[in-house]
Structure 1
Amino acid sequence: MSGLSAIVPIETETLGVRVYLQLREMLIAGQFAPGEKLTLRTLAAAIGTSPMPVRDALRQLMVDQAIELLPNRVFRVPLMSKSRFIELREIRIRMEGMAIEYAAERISAAELGEAAAFSAAFNAECDLHQPDPAKLIVLNKNLHFTLYRASRLPALLQIIEGLWTQIGPVLNLDVRSGSERITSKTPTKHHEAMIAALKVRDADSAKAALAADLRSASDYILQQNRLT
């Protein structure tokens, strides 16, 4: 019995981590809107688990500042103010820029090829008459994090993941609304410039392309007047 008792906490912990990671990915992908209320039963049914690991995951996301608990004990995706959005954007430019700077020194040919493949797939999706926002969001995230992982700085990567978790519900508004940035392939131009700079180990140009990408997306979102 002692052996079985030792297994149960591991399984419980693994389930809790899995639920947390799944909810975090949903936040990053913008599948929850700012101000959206999240019920334990609905999330548990969608994920296929009991409410307890969902509650634990939401509490961890509160620590990440990605979820808040209202006075009536309801979990909610926080509303995003303009000032906080701009603050997070500036922090992202610096943190993600640092990752790109180190990636310029350390990225491999295989990682550059992987990033280029994501960029090409993003570009091809933009060419469609009705691009799939969900695909664009995943491709964009995969491209960025392929480059950030190439920095070989896991602590920095964790910080960047936390920033994306907080800003995700707002970050993808331009993609989901089929903005002019998507139809004109503005993100693709920045992605290609970033990859081209990394190929020649030009950290400054790669960081400039990243900053231009983040600022063009944030400028569009700010123009929509959907922040508090």
Structure 2
Amino acid sequence: MVRNHGKESDAPAPEGSLEQRAYAALRDALIQGGFPPGEKLSIRRIAVALGVSPMPARAALRRLAAERCLDIAPGGAAIVPLITRAEYREITRIRCLLEPEAAATAVPRLTGEEIAVLRAIAAEAKAARSSGDEETYRRGDRLLHQRFFAAAGQPLLLSLIETLWMRRSAIIAQARPLLPARPDKDDHDALIAAAETRDPAAAAEASRSEIERAAAYLMTRLRFPDDPAEPVDGWTTLRRING
């Protein structure tokens, strides 16, 4: 937290500060889908959970709200966004532009050592999913993509991608019970193979395919706030009316 005579400053918090640590922890939790849709994030509860005072917790929540990763209720409370079907389509469409670009740009820059690390992360994630450990799989999936995209050397691009991951937090939380049953599970083989063969086009296609397949699966199984109400069973209604 940067202060000026006891007041919060708009200057970025320095690395290692309590505000930066609180922001990083909340950012990680959002990416992992750690909060259900519509949950109100109390400053006091967040401060206690992170072991900081309310001030850095408040600043971190404000920063995430400014980045549109959280919504602000009329009373000023930070809330995990309720993602509509239309917004999820938009998030997916933008991810399909940004993430393939990051993957393709990263491929020529990845060293043999970095590819070996990515291969190991992918193998561990695949083993976790095979054993039914979806949470460990999700952490590995996120780490693999973050490290892969970071190799592109475009921090702004990576930040935009991570912001979209945070914005869809409620979808990940809702989808958690559905993910183990997904038939076409991502095992990252195509992405790793593209890195090993130094094929940017293949890396872009692998990235795009992962996003589109996951979105298609969830779009057919989740209900969204803007979905029409389920049709009324006319026969059941008639029986109720007639006693």
TM-score by length of structure 2 reads: 0.82
Maintained 8 Å contact 2:32/2:169 = yes
Deviation string, structure 1 residues 83-120 (Cα, Å, up to 9, x no partner): 11111111111111111111121111111111111110
SS in 2 for 1:34: coil
What displacement does 1:63 show? 0.9
Seq. identity, % = 31
What displacement does 1:142 show? 0.6
More helix as a share of residues: 1
CA distance, structure 2, for counterparts of residue 222 and residue 74 of structure 1: 29
Structure 1: 4+ residue segments shifted above 3 A: 9-13, 171-179
Aligned to 2:21: 18
Matches within 5 A, 1:56-75: 56-75=59-78
CA distance, structure 2, for counterparts of residue 215 and residue 185 of structure 1: 11
Indicate the structure (1 or 2) with the bigger Cα radius of gyration: 2
Maintained 8 Å contact 1:38/1:77 = yes
CA distance, structure 1, for counterparts of residue 16 and residue 129 of structure 2: 40
Residue 111 of structure 1, aligned match among 98, 114, 134: 114
Aligned to 1:223: 220
- Paired residues in the alignment total 215
CA distance, structure 2, for counterparts of residue 13 and residue 135 of structure 1: 26
CA distance, structure 1, for counterparts of residue 96 and residue 69 of structure 2: 19
SS in 2 for 1:32: coil
What displacement does 1:179 show? 3.2
**What amino acid is the match of 2:217?**
Y
Give structure 1 stretches of 5+ with no counterpart. none
SS in 2 for 1:113: helix
Give structure 2 stretches of 5+ with no counterpart. 226-243
Maintained 8 Å contact 1:137/1:175 = no
Change in CA separation of 1:205 and 1:175 when aligned onto 2, cut-off 3 Å: farther
What displacement does 1:173 show? 4.4
What displacement does 1:227 show? 2.0
Aligned to 1:204: 201
